[in-house]
A and B are shown apart, each in its own frame.
Chain A
Amino acid sequence: MKRKSIIPGFGISFGITISILSIVVLIPLCSLVVFTSKLSFSEFLYTVTRPRVMSGYYVSISTALVASLINAVMGMILAWILVRYDFPGKRFIDGIIELPFALPTAVAGISLTHMTTTNGWVGKFFYDLFGIRIAYTRLGITVALIFIGIPFVVRSVQPVLEKIDIQYEEAAYIMGADSGTTFRKVIFPELLPALISGFTLAFARCIGEYGSVVFIAGNTPYETEIAPLLIMSELQEFDYSAATSIALVMLAIAFVILSVNALLQASVSRRVNGLA
């Protein structure tokens, strides 16, 4: 159904939108496509399957996965206490959760690094007591990614939890379900789509994260070298083909993650709404 709007100003608003979008997003994206089409496939394959690059992908994905899983659990707990409980300092917690969005990643990076070296406040404690090093290891990368990913799950679960009607829980309780069963069978399925989407957003963000990780990683090849750093070092050597090849694989990974999320959202909402 197409209906002509009587509100004037379509031309000018559409014009501004498309012009700025072209300069900032579309033209650069086209040049990526053009540049990609000029790459030879064998060269591309050679670049992205080099052991050092493969290990970069592995480090990025595995640390991002662990960090996002921890954030999924903590995000649920944080959303739960913020919605369901009253306690002193609630507004403070609600505000501070957004800190990773507001604090520049490089600032977070140097602070976490300096703090967790074997001379730092936290690092010394862990090293002396357990012999665990945090900075310049994969554990350090995970710590930085946990910092970055905190707001994602909380902010996607919180609004959904706020909207759940208490009636269902009351019904479950009257029918004799204990609080554990009520959570598992009544509340959790409602929260699942939001949880998955928060998790995937955090996961996608963490795989591409650079600023906070680059300091704490130590960047030892095969050990703590992340994929975005590999792109950066190829760029510094002006090897644009290699940089683009590595970037294309990362874009493909991000695309797969976001598509899986979209599919899961569709299937979960179908199941929850009983339309299967």
Chain B
Amino acid sequence: MDIRKENRILKWVLIIISFVFLAVFLILPLIYIIVTAFRDGLSGYIKGITDEYALKATGLTIKATIIAVLVNTIFGLAAAWCITKYSFKGKKILSTFIDLPVTVSPIIAGLIYVLTFGRQGALYKYLDPLGIKIIFAVPGIVLATVFVTFPFISRELIPILTAQGTDEEEAAALMGAGTFTIFRKVTLPHVKWALLYGVVLCTARAMGEFGAVSVLSGHLRGKTNTLPLYIELLYQGYDFTGAFAASSILVIMAIIVLVLRLILEHKGKKELDVSRR
């Protein structure tokens, strides 16, 4: 039996404080979005989410998200594999640079891309004659999205691959397996849930990025407006029903992400335990 006596009053006071705090700060805003989205009835809501520009903004958001997730998955797998399976100089610096993007304010992230690819940047005179526009165009939005989600996948994989060690890969290599065979048959099965979890986190953040994208987007309706930027536009135009209707799409996606997170985290924990054994 547990010899610590549980202070029941304290317990329930703390639980009630927590419930009130989360209800006010997290749940109320969510309910508010849904209620406001349906303020003008179901037809107003449907009109809001099927608006031509809303659909185009959703399309662009999905496109940027897919590219960002693909790039970061390739990067995350390569970086995690490289950092955990080999020893080389400068590993610490490499990890620092990988983590850097999440500690930088999104506005500053946008700013450094403007300085790089904008008119005064060193690369402008090479890219412009080729007709490649990055700033105030779709590539800029995609780059900003990749930047803000950069370490999300590698960060999930590195702890598991570190715990798992290199014995199994070494054995496979000695038996003559090639790089991709080892990766596919030995490493990947260990990290599949963590990888999926990273992809989910990356997707969530990529869909919703606002600051960095806002700096790099030309704010052209139907061309370079992502869903969050479109919501800002509607809100500032006092179209509250439209803004909250468009927001509700992102709320639904956020809830799906949270549910997936709970499931994947559970499976991922088992993965980590198995690796540690």
Contacts and interface: CB of A to CB of B under 8 A. Distances in A.
B111 A243 contact: yes
Given A5-B87, A247-B108, A251-B108, A100 B211 contact: no
A2 B235 CA distance: 58
A34 interface: yes
A150 B25 contact: yes
B112 A28 contact: yes
Contacts of B122: 31, 34
Question: What secondary structure prevails in chain A residues at the interface with B?
Answer: helix
Interface residues of B, number: 100
Contacts of B30: 99, 103, 111
B199 interface: no
A32 B111 CA distance: 9
A101 B205 contact: yes
A91 B169 CA distance: 37
A28 B115 contact: yes
Given A81-B14, A150-B25, A173 B3 contact: yes
Nearest to A255: B103
Interface stretch (A11-19, A40-48, A190-198, A264-272): A11-19
B3 A17 contact: no
A150 B25 CA distance: 9
B235 A215 contact: yes
A8 B175 CA distance: 12
Nearest to A103: B254
Nearest to B61: A104
Contact of A17 (B78, B123, B247, B257): B78
A235 B114 contact: yes
B240 A17 contact: no
A115 B111 CA distance: 31
A115 B33 CA distance: 9
Contact of B97 (A14, A21, A179, A207): A21
Contacts of B88: 10, 14
Among B21, B25, B97, chain A packs the most CB atoms within 10 A around the CB of: B25
Contacts of B209: 104
A2 B210 contact: no
Nearest to A96: B26
Interface string B143-182: 1001100100000000000000010011001100011101
Nearest to A113: B235
A231 B75 contact: no
Residue among A102, A166, A243 with the highest chain B CB neighbour number at 10 A: A102
Q: What are the 7 A-B residue pairs with the smallest beta carbon separation, nearest first?
A: A104-B208, A208-B105, A9-B179, A211-B210, A210-B211, A16-B78, A102-B254
Interface of B: 2-5, 7, 11, 14-15, 17-19, 21-22, 24-30, 32-33, 36, 71, 74-75, 78-79, 81-82, 85-88, 94, 97-98, 100-101, 103-108, 110-116, 118, 120-123, 143, 146-147, 150, 166, 169-170, 173-174, 178-180, 182-183, 201, 204-205, 207-211, 214-215, 227-229, 231-232, 235, 240, 243-244, 247, 250-251, 254-255, 257-259, 261-262
5 contacts: A20-B71, A21-B79, A25-B98, A211-B214, A215-B232
